[in-house]
């Protein structure tokens, strides 16, 4: 019988042979599989998944664009403001921004446009105080991953998506069993408001408002 680490490595390597539709094949598949395997074994991948799910649940992770444009409108900037506020609470975490387009136009043009949208999103987050080394504008998926499968103009397909991608390299020590303190620390100070009540005896005491 194969030992568990070896079996897990074989499963990860097998999974590395598949790619999402439209995703370009890279030369580093085996290196990626090795990193993935290491992340599974040391628990990092679980934390990334948990944080990614929480980010998508608590903050809009998608903004949309006008046709043939990488300009951020007021609505997009409002969403990115919320993303920046969330990201600032977790300085150990890295993020990727994926650019997308609709199906109008050629592949090369849409690839470039999607990348410009991803860069515009990253630049705005940086302007809000997020370290650029924590943000990556991923090579655009262009038109290959639509939300709505149509060949015409579709605003919902013209978007960038922000996702949790991993941990900053010099902060791996947080994976020591105490990471829950980081995951939920914003609830301790920022999400729980304090209010002062006066008792009948005239003494003041501070309690947490639910």
> Can you tell me which residue has the tokens 């590395």?
16
SS3 content of the chain, % helix, strand, coil (to 5): 45, 20, 35
- Exposure string over 149-159, b if 16+ CB within 10 A, otherwise e: eeeeebeebbb
d(CA 189, CA 197): 19
- How big is the chain, counted in residues? 210
**Confidence at residue 189, expressed as pLDDT on a 0 to 100 scale:** 52
**Residue 140 burial (CB < 10 Å; 0-12/13-18/19+)?**
buried
Determine contact, residues 80/72, Cβ cutoff 8 Å.
yes
Other C-beta atoms lying within 10 Å of the C-beta of residue 145: 18
**Confidence at residue 170, expressed as pLDDT on a 0 to 100 scale:** 57
What pTM, to 2 d.p., does this model score? 0.62
DSSP-assigned beta bridge partners for residue 205? 197
**Confidence at residue 199, expressed as pLDDT on a 0 to 100 scale:** 45
**Confidence at residue 209, expressed as pLDDT on a 0 to 100 scale:** 36
Q: Which of 100, 110, 209 is CA-nearest to residue 148? A: 100
pLDDT (tens place) for every residue of the chain, 210 residues total: 544 444 444 333 444 443 333 334 344 444 444 444 444 444 456 778 888 999 999 999 999 999 999 999 999 999 999 999 999 998 889 999 999 999 999 989 999 999 999 999 999 999 999 999 999 999 777 778 889 888 889 999 999 999 999 887 655 445 444 555 555 555 555 555 444 444 444 444 433 333
Tokens linked to 158? 């013209």
d(CA 158, CA 64): 6
């Amino acid at each position: 019988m194969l030992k568990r680490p070896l079996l897990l490595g074989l499963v990860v390597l097998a999974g590395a042979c598949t790619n999402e539709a439209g995703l370009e094949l890279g030369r580093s598949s085996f290196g990626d599989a090795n990193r993935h395997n290491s992340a599974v074994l040391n628990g990092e991948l679980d934390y990334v998944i948990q944080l990614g799910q929480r980010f998508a649940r608590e903050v809009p992770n998608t903004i949309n664009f006008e046709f043939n444009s990488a300009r951020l409108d007021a609505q997009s900037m409002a969403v990115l403001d919320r993303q920046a506020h969330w990201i600032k609470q977790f300085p150990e975490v890295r993020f990727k921004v994926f650019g997308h387009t609709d199906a109008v136009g050629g592949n090369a043009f849409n690839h470039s446009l999607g990348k410009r949208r991803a860069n515009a999103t990253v630049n705005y987050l940086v302007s809000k105080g997020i370290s650029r080394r924590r943000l990556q504008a991923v090579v655009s998926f262009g038109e290959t991953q639509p939300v709505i499968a149509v060949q015409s103009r579709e605003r919902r397909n013209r978007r960038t998506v922000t996702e949790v991608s991993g941990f900053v390299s010099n902060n791996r020590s947080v994976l020591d069993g105490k990471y829950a303190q980081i995951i939920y620390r914003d609830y301790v100070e920022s999400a729980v408001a304090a209010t002062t009540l006066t008792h009948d005896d005239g003494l003041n005491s501070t309690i947490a408002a639910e």
